[in-house]
Chain A
C-alpha cells in the first residue's frame, strides 16, 4: 500500500523557520517526483514546490521562492521542505504528494495526510 506521512508542522513566530518531512512507503520512492501543496484555512489548494526523482530539478511558487528549500533523501525515503522567513500568509496545512505517471504526464496520485503550520506571535 502506498503511504505518505507528513510531519513537522508546528506553531512558529513570524520570521521563524520550520522543516517539514514526508516519508513514503509501499513504492519505489527513488523513482518518483514529489511536490508540496498547501491549503490556508478555509481556502483552496496552492502548489508550493517540486523536486524531480534525482533531486536536481527543483521549482518553487513565486510566493515562497528564496525562503523555502525542497530536498529529498532516498535512504530515508523522504522529501523535506525547509521554510525560513515565515509570515502569517504561510499559515496552512502542508501536503506532500507523489507524482504518478498517468496517460501523457504526471499527476499527484497519492497525498500525505497533511501537517499544520501556524505562523503567529
Chain B
C-alpha cells in the first residue's frame, strides 16, 4: 500500500500570507495525485487533480506541483475561507486509493 505523509500537521498563518503544504509518497505515484479541502462539518472538495491542474471553479491562488514522490500545494495569498484541513490523495494503485493524514491550516 502506498503511504502518503503530509507536512506539517498544522500550519499557522495570517490572511494574505503564502501557504505551502507538502505531501510525500512512499513510492512513486507519477502525477496521479489530487488535493482536497475540507471545512468543519462539510464533505471534502476537490481542488487539484493530476498534481497540478485546478478543478473547475477553483481560484487561481491555489496551485499544485510535483511528481513522483514529492508534491506541494501552494495557496498564494490566504483568504479567510481558506483556513481548513487539506488532504492529498493518490490513485496510482487503482482501484484502491489512499489519503494523506491531512494538514490543518489555521489562522495565526
Contact = CB atoms under 8 A, between A and B. Distances in A.
Say whether A and B bind each other.
yes
B91 A105 contact: yes
Nearest to B48: A107
Interface string A82-103: 0000000000000101000011
Contacts, number: 65
A70 to B, nearest CB: 11
Q: Which of A33, A57, A103 has the most CB of B within 10 A?
A: A103
Interface size class of A (residues with CB under 8 A): 20 to 34
Interface in B67-108: 87, 89, 91, 94-102
- Among all A-B residue pairs, the 10 with the closest Cβ atoms: A111-B43, A103-B50, A50-B95, A45-B99, A102-B49, A59-B95, A44-B102, A107-B49, A44-B101, A107-B34
Interface of B: 31-32, 34, 36, 38, 43-46, 49-50, 53, 55, 87, 89, 91, 94-102
